[in-house]
Amino acid sequence: MARYRITITNVVEMDQEALQEAALEFPTVKAGLRQEAEISVATTADPQHAGFLLGLELHNQMLMLLRGRRPVVPSGVPDVQVERLPDPGGTG
């Protein structure tokens, strides 16, 4: 049977506050909150780290959907790049 390689690239743009609030709801962060609340909250306060966590959560959700189907993910973890966008108002 033929095998296929699927490459998925998502671009998500959102406000820093919304990203940080969302990060507190990620399953891996919630699990960390039960163990080390101060560290988990501090890491989600950094937009770079919160963006990376979002990429990992999306990757984990994909793997859960493919559970039992033996997917091969050569790189192991996704390449997550987080960049600050210019202010739409032009102030920075």
pLDDT at residue 37, as a whole number: 59
Rounded to two decimals, what is the model's pTM? Answer: 0.66
Q: Is the dihedral of CA 28, 34, 36, 39 positive or negative?
A: positive
Can you list the residues of the chain whose pLDDT is less than 50? none
Q: How far is it, in rounded angstroms, from Cα 43 to Cα 47?
A: 8
Domain extents in the chain:
16-65
